[in-house]
Chains A and B, each alone.
Chain A
Amino acid sequence: MSVTTIDPSTLDVAAVRADFPALAQRVNGRPLVYLDNAASAQKPRAVIEAVAHAYTKDYANVHRGVHSLSQHATDAYEQARSVGRRFLGAAHDEELVFVRGATEAINLVAQSFVRPRLGAGDEILVTEMEHHSNIVPWQLLCAEVGARLVAAPIDDRGALDLEAFADLLSSRTKMVSVVHISNALGTINPVAEIVRLARSRGIPTMIDGAQAAPHMAIDVHALGCDFYAISGHKVFGPTGIGLLYGRREHLRAMPPYQGGGEMIHSVSFAGSRWAPPPHRFEAGTPHIVGAIGLAAALRYVESIGAPRIGAHEHDLLTHASEQLGALPQVRLIGTAAEKAAVLSFVVEGIHAHDVGTILDQEGVAVRAGHHCAQPAIEHFGLAATARASFALYNTHAEIDRLVRAVKHAIEIFSP
């Protein structure tokens, strides 16, 4: 988020940290510095309590019982959907499908939306910086029908080459699916422009917003995308729950993704009729309490506000980039002009895995590896990077601890 007019000091980080009980612990004898937020974020008390309350007080199956508890659970589950709609800027509750996470959302769209309209020789366009979850579902589908998955290139700063992307759109392109914020490089893609380019050619679009949700305001209506996916656990919610936004006209026309209870209107051996969206896509008993926990997480983020979060994280990213970038042995990977709270780096002469182990001994949790985005990392001629990723609760002091731990790694490995 390169442009901000909000003073980051308006975010009371100490108060925010007090909301997250997991942050107040020691790891390997040192106060925890949790910088693996792009993999999964810690949970605020509001989420933990919402989950505990749901199981303690209002738990039953949804959309089935005539009894009161089932009604309470159904109300809470459907209210959670409304919270998701508001968070994503959608117009109708029926446009929000509860899924296990962004991965399932993409698989659902691949199978129920794209598959019927994809033929041999057709193409699906993604980018070189995609997470494996926005590569492999398309590969599986393409392999079945003889279609081709095409990746638009990135430049050496890790930004999408928008001109090349536009040139790759053709009459063969049947779907565009791109990541909003790269989990490996931190690049914020110009998704509004991408959607505009695709729509002008009548090509539907899917945005993988797993990394965007905890960092910036999302407005699917303003974006004009056809589908948008988020994962609950990356936005301070429970694991195993996420949201797929899909345009109403698409969802209504799409066949089910999985069959089972909940998603049917009526069943007979002569044939069954599907329920309307969103329940058509929620076969089986859903992750009821996960949805309630996710709603608590989204409310929590809304209570702080995306502009304040964005400003604080931009400040953290700037500080970390300056401090780490000042070490001659460190090379930052992914330096796009539009960048969110992810800092991938390599240290000369030290493998990322060793950096990760040494940092962990200092209580600093980072991820080391290809971050489930192998093509993006290989673009830089690497097999692995270390990655520090920030959230609203991280501080300058924590970044200083990160930098000291990296210096320690350099000391250990220096001859």
Chain B
Amino acid sequence: MSDLRDLYQEIILDHYRTPRNLRAPAGANRTADGHNPLCGDRVRVRLRVADGVIEDAGFEGAGCAISTASASLMTEAVKGKTVAEAEALFQAFRALVTGDSAGSTDADLGKLEALAGVRDYPIRIKCATLAWHTLESALRSVSGEVAADPGAGSVVSSE
């Protein structure tokens, strides 16, 4: 049995209770929506990118402790990074939480290491990576448009 304190470390609970960058950054020019259909978590990531640098990052949405803390820590971590550095950080983070080092990078994870406990809870890995997948989608988005959730299919409406 894994120790729940490894999963719910104080830094994670702190970022869950008091999320950082839970806002729309001024002048945001990259936006994407993410959705985890398993638990219904939704996140919107907004970035202000200029000359290949993420000048500001914010997120909105409600989710579990793992997804909220991960989004909060992510926005802190990518602020000031180049797009390439942020993508390298995602690869290192993915390796950390999945325990699969394939494709990993030597990017310094810093506080993101707190999410390492997720690897013992395979069902929760998607919670930890939701914000990052959404970030990736935002980085590829076109200025002025909201990149849709890449996992979503077409809409059936009967109204």
Q: In the complex, how many angstroms separate the beta carbon of A381 from the nearest chain B beta carbon?
A: 11
B62 within 8 A of A: yes
Say whether A352 contacts B156, CB under 8 Å. no
Question: B1 near A351 (CB under 8 angstroms)?
Answer: no
Is B40 in contact with A384, judged by CB distance below 8 angstroms?
A: yes
* Residues from chain B with Cβ under 8 Å of A358 in the complex: 4
| Contact call A354/B38, Cβ cutoff below 8 A | no
A142 partner residues in chain B, CB cutoff 8 A: 158
Inter-chain contact B2/A361, CB cutoff 8 Å: yes
Q: Does A308 contact B (CB under 8 A)?
A: no
Q: List, in ascending order, chain B residues with CB within 8 A of A143's CB.
A: 156-158
Confirm or deny: B63 has a beta carbon within 8 angstroms of a beta carbon on chain A: yes
In the complex the two chains form, is B65's CB within 8 Å of A368's CB? Answer: no
**A31 nearest CB across to chain B (Å):** 13
- Interface flag for B41 (CB, 8 Å): yes
Residues of A within 8 A of B156 (CB): 136, 139-140, 143
Q: A-facing mask of B1-20, CB < 8 A → 1, else 0? A: 11011011000010001000
- With A358-B4, A361-B2 in contact, do A353 and B39 touch (Cβ < 8 Å)? yes
Given contacts A136-B156, A142-B158, A413-B13, contact A384 B4 (CB under 8 A): no
CB of A350 closer than 8 Å to a CB of B: yes
Q: Judge whether A384 and B39 touch: CB under 8 Å.
A: yes
Contact call B159/A148, Cβ cutoff below 8 A? yes
Known: A354-B64, A354-B65, A358-B4. A369 touches B38 (CB 8 A): yes
Interface core residue of A29, A142, A357, A377 (most chain B CB under 10 Å): A357
CA distance A61 to B17 in the complex (A): 59
Decide if A327 is an interface residue (CB 8 Å cutoff): no
- The interface centre, meaning the residue of B4, B5, B13, B64 with most chain A CB atoms within 10 A of its CB, is B64
A169 to B156, CA, bound (A): 24
User: Does B89 sit at the interface, judged by CB under 8 A?
Assistant: no
1/0 contact string of B60-81 vs chain A (CB within 8 Å): 0011111010000000000000
CB-CB nearest in chain B for A135: B158
- B158 touching A351, Cβ below 8 Å: no
Provide the residues of chain A in CB contact with B4, threshold 8 Å.
357-358, 361, 412
How far in angstroms is the closest Cβ of chain A from B88? 29
Q: How far is the CA of A412 from the CA of B66 in the complex (A)?
A: 14
A401 to chain B, nearest CB (A): 15
Smallest CB–CB gap between B40 and chain A, Å? Answer: 4
Do B158 and A149 touch across chains, with their CB atoms under 8 A apart? Answer: yes
Inter-chain contact A383/B62, CB cutoff 8 Å = yes
- List 22 A-B pairs, Cβ < 8 Å: A139-B156, A139-B157, A139-B158, A140-B156, A143-B156, A149-B158, A351-B39, A353-B41, A353-B64, A353-B66, A354-B66, A357-B121, A358-B4, A369-B40, A370-B40, A374-B40, A377-B40, A383-B40, A384-B39, A413-B65, A415-B13, A415-B17
Which residues of B are in contact with A by a Cβ distance under 8 Å? 1-2, 4-5, 7-8, 13, 17, 38-42, 62-66, 68, 121, 123-124, 127, 156-159
7 additional A-B pairs beyond A357-B4, A383-B41, beta carbons within 8 Å, are: A139-B156, A148-B159, A149-B158, A349-B17, A351-B68, A353-B63, A361-B1
- Kindly list the 10 A-B residue pairs having the minimum CB-CB distance in the complex, ordered from nearest: A142-B158, A351-B64, A353-B64, A383-B40, A149-B158, A139-B158, A29-B1, A353-B39, A28-B1, A139-B156
